[in-house]
Structure 1
Amino acid sequence: MSFEIAERLGLAVWVKDLKAARTLGRVGNIHYVSKRLKYVCLYIDGKKADQLIRRIERMHFVTRVDRSLRREWTTEFPKPTPIG
């Protein structure tokens, strides 16, 4: 029995109405909701990302959808040089 971890993609979904934003839970996993700035941090399935983003953008309460840039960051840093 093998178990694979699903590839996830983080999104920042800017919304007009926070109550309506709860319906985003049907599309993915809600990680954080900012009441002051009115956005939702959401994780979706990476394999279906394009299809799900189009579906989210069509929702009446959504103003903007931003993809996470985490994968584009470099996580390997050069070895520090010794001082002195």
Structure 2
Amino acid sequence: MEQTERQAIIIWLYTLKQLKQLRKFGNVTYVSKKMKYVYLYVDKADAEDIMAKLDRLHFVRSVELSQRPSVRMDFTKILPELREEYALEKSKQKQLIASNNEQATQEVTKEQD
């Protein structure tokens, strides 16, 4: 069985009343009622044509392609970098706490004198 390439399209709407009309263009996977947008999956080959058709509909505010295919999803190299940053940040916090404790003890000894 051959898998077809899919592309997500984000459709910003003025109103959600005509939501059923969008189903004929592709698979509606998510609808945000509060922000009034729809996540629609279509065949990658037909994406540009469908975007042009959707943009002409009177209830559509704007249409844009999803940026997910262009985002790197391989985090194997990033994880060690994040661990190093976390360790560095933690050591800085420990140094800051130690210096604050020293200052506090010096102030207490000055007050006692």
Deviations 1:8-55 (A, max 9, x none): 111110111211122100000001111111111111110111111101
Output aligned runs, 1:1-84, within 5 Å. 3-77=1-75, 78=77, 80=80
SS in 1 for 2:17: helix
CA root-mean-square deviation: 1.9
- Give unpaired runs (5+ residues) of structure 2: 85-113
Structure with greater strand share of residues: 1
Structure with greater helix share of residues: 2
SS in 2 for 1:27: coil
Higher relative contact order (CA 8 A, sep 6+): 1
- Give unpaired runs (5+ residues) of structure 1: none
Runs of 4 or more, structure 1, over 2 Å off, are 79-83
* TM-score (structure 2 length as normaliser): 0.65
Counting matched residue pairs gives: 82
Task: Give the drift of 1:74.
Answer: 1.1
Larger Rg over CA atoms: 2
